[in-house]
Amino acid sequence: MTRRPRRTVTSVHFRATLAFTLVAVLTATITAQERPEIRTKTDFLRAMEELSNWGRWGADDELGAANLITLEKRKAAASLVTEGISISLAHDVIEEDAVDGGTYLDREVTRVGPSGAADRYRYTGTYHGTIHSHLDSVACHVMYDGQGYNGYTQASIEEAGLCPQGSIHALRDGIVTRGVLFDATLLPGKTTPEGWVVPGTEITWADLEELERIQGVRVSEGDVILLYTGRWKRREALGAWPTSEGVAGFQADVAYFLKERGVAFIGHDMFNDVSPHGFPPEVGLPLHRLALVSLGVSIFDNLDFERLAEKARQLGRYEFMFTAAPLRIRGGMGSPLNPIATF
């Protein structure tokens, strides 16, 4: 008999009843006024409360905002395929140590013979981090104050020895929905002549709305949004750089955009959060925590949008069918994978 993981309720955040009340208030007012800033720890804690989706899809929910991808949404995404052009959104797996990585794939040929050959794949450390294309599970991988999405606790993970609920296995049937590329290099004043966004540049909710205007697209419920900053182009031209020197990415107030539009997943060509982000160490990566822990919005890290951005500009079209499928690992806290965009 499977033991259910323990939950705790804190006085600080995430009571489902409070969340539903706040969601109702936000829905009525968020479009009528400027969204609150998220610049301090106090702002961050307020947003964790206000934006919470805990309990929205039931106490046993394992999908989070992926619940917003309906049957109709998948069919509508499929109807976007008019050109028949498919593009990988993963970067080649890194097989050597690098200053922006820390782990790499240690590949070994184990057999070569007249009938064929075989090799073994093993990461020298976790595939999570700043170099490998992967998807975070909605629960377990990122927590705040000992709790992950929907109230599952650090203790429940330790007791189970895996992610007891909300693991990557919940997405074993794959992700099929509409993808929207936000090409941050189109924002005036934020791009170098070489074609990448300056490391450390923040992309805010206002920037996303400006990109919608520039690109002629509007995010809708159940979408995957993908932020292109030119990370891999810069790395190819100038070499790898330590993340301490800056990462162009989402500012924390993008969490309000995710809630307002009903975004199902987010992705980026590095780790999504802008760095430096200005928050104290105990907050960590603020958008990671707001998205995963509070909203239940899963995150694709370290994707590669170079070819996608080029094709989108050529076609003048920034929407497409997005597909991805994680490895079927029970209790997994994430998965390397190769998402596909199809025009």
pLDDT above 60 for 26: no
**Stretch 151-171: mean pLDDT:** 95
DSSP code, position 252 = T
pLDDT above 60 for 24: no
pLDDT above 60 for 167: yes
User: What is the average pLDDT value for the chain, to the nearest integer?
Assistant: 92
By the 8 A CB rule, do 336 and 329 touch? no
CA distance 157 to 164: 6
pLDDT above 50 for 2: no
In terms of Cα–Cα distance, which of 140, 150, 1 is closest to 61? 150
> Highest mean pLDDT range out of 25-29, 151-155, 178-182?
178-182
Would you state the structure tokens that stand for residue 139, as one six-digit string? 């629960």
Lowest mean pLDDT among 12-26, 118-132, 146-160: 12-26
pLDDT of residue 33: 56
pLDDT above 70 for 32: no
Q: From its phi and psi, is residue 153 left (phi > 0), alpha (psi between -120 and 50) or beta?
A: beta
DSSP code, position 11 = S
pLDDT above 80 for 160: yes
Count the neighbouring beta carbons within 10 Å of the beta carbon of residue 133. Answer: 23
pLDDT digits (tens, 9 = 90+) for 61-95: 999 999 999 999 999 999 999 999 999 999 999 99
CA distance 232 to 86: 20
Q: Which helix (H) or strand (E) holds 77?
A: helix 71-78
In terms of Cα–Cα distance, which of 179, 337, 171 is closest to 266? 179
pLDDT of residue 34: 74
pLDDT above 90 for 21: no
User: In order of start, what are the domains of the chain with their CATH numbers?
Assistant: 16-91+133-342 (3.50.30.50), 97-129 (no CATH)
Would you state the structure tokens that stand for residue 31, as one six-digit string? 């479009």
By the 8 A CB rule, do 299 and 65 touch? no
The whole-model pTM stands at 0.89
45 to 13, 18, 253, 322: CA distances (angstroms): 8, 14, 12, 32
Phi and psi torsions of 134, nearest 5°: -155, 170
Q: What percent of the chain has pLDDT over 90?
A: 89
